[in-house]
């Protein structure tokens, strides 16, 4: 085999690399968005002497993702292009719930890790809805629905359960406004969860 034949593939590859538009360009990374924790709780008396474990939320596969969901009907779910949460949604929700409980100062301790302390109660959550909903006109509104259970330990007795819902309209039909509505809606729901859980745990005999 001649030397000129052996180097031909390399010459062709260099030529292709030099032709703009032949090789695909890598996609731009998505813009990342986060939820925030609730703060500014009304001061209460001494914290309830309960150590609460906040379990990782459960969710169907469509919501157990970093992608930000949008719904155009009751039976369809899609995702915004070029936008994502900073982590899988259940991980984000769990972390912000822990921070919200800590900011409330209503319980003795709260954590997402059972090994940090003796667990007196567990808060479990299930994400039913966490998406921007379009009704066909203008900007969407955000829809959240979270089922919550409080379980006493170590006997695993159900203390209370409730489904929390919230809706918040986006000011404009752009990603920043849509995520702002998500955060507003989320903080309203999270505040209700914190107050509800603390009130119920304060009534549990110890």
Report the pLDDT averaged over residues 61-76. 93
**What would the pLDDT profile of 118-144 be if each residue is shown by its tens digit?**
899 999 999 999 999 998 778 999 999
Its pTM stands at 0.85
Q: pLDDT at residue 13 above 70?
A: no
75 has pLDDT over 70? yes
pLDDT at 22: 64
User: Domain 47-202 is of which CATH architecture?
Assistant: 3-Layer(aba) Sandwich (3.40)
With b for 16 or more beta-carbon neighbours within 10 A and e for fewer, the 135-152 pattern comes to eeeebbbbbbbbebebbb
CB atoms within 10 A of CB 87: 14
* Nearest-angstrom CA–CA distance, 62 and 182: 17
CA distance 162 to 148: 5
**Calpha distance 96→99 (Å, rounded):** 5
Portion of the chain with pLDDT greater than 90, in percent: 73
Q: From CA 130, how far away is CA 70, in angstroms rounded?
A: 9
Out of 14-18, 52-56, 121-125, 138-142, least confident range? 14-18
Q: What pLDDT is attached to residue 11? A: 40
Strand spans (E) along 99-156: 107-111, 121-133, 141-152
Q: Would the pLDDT of 29 be above 80? A: yes
Q: What angle do CA 60, 179, 125 make, to 5 degrees?
A: 35
Three-state DSSP state, 61: coil
pLDDT of residue 146: 98
The total number of residues shown for the chain amounts to 206
Is residue 67 classed as helix, strand or coil in its secondary structure? strand
| Among 131, 140, 127, residue whose Cα is nearest residue 193 | 127
The tokens describing 57, both together, are 């939320």
CB atoms under 10 Å from CB of 153, counted, come to 16
Asked if the model's pLDDT at residue 34 lies above 60, the reply is: yes
- Domain boundaries along the sequence of the chain: 47-202
Q: Which residue has the higher pLDDT, 182 or 204?
A: 182
pLDDT tier for residue 12 given thresholds of 50, 70 and 90: very low
| pLDDT score for 117 | 80
Q: How many CA atoms lie within 13 A of 25 on its CB side?
A: 6
CA 130, CA 63: separation in Å to the nearest integer?
7
Name residues whose C-beta falls within 8 Å of residue 20's C-beta, 6 or more positions apart in sequence.
none
């Amino acid at each position: 085999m001649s030397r000129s034949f052996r180097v031909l593939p390399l010459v062709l590859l260099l030529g292709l690399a030099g032709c703009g538009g032949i090789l695909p360009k890598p996609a731009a990374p998505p813009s990342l968005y986060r939820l925030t924790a609730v703060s500014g709780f009304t001061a209460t008396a001494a914290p309830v002497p309960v150590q609460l474990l906040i379990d990782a939320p459960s969710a169907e596969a469509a919501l157990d993702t970093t992608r930000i969901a949008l719904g155009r009907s009751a039976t369809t779910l899609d995702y915004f292009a070029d936008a994502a949460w900073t982590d899988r949604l259940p991980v984000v929700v769990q972390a912000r719930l822990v921070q919200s409980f800590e900011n409330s100062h209503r319980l003795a301790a709260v954590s997402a890790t059972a090994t940090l302390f003796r667990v007196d109660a567990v808060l479990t959550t299930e994400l039913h809805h966490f998406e921007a909903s379009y009704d066909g006109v203008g900007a969407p509104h955000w829809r959240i629905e979270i089922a919550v259970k409080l379980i006493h330990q170590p006997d695993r007795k159900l203390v209370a359960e409730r489904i929390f819902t919230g809706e918040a309209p986006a000011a404009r039909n752009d990603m920043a406004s849509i995520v702002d509505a998500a955060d507003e809606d989320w903080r309203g729901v999270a505040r209700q969860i914190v107050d509800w859980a603390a009130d119920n745990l304060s009534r549990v005999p110890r």
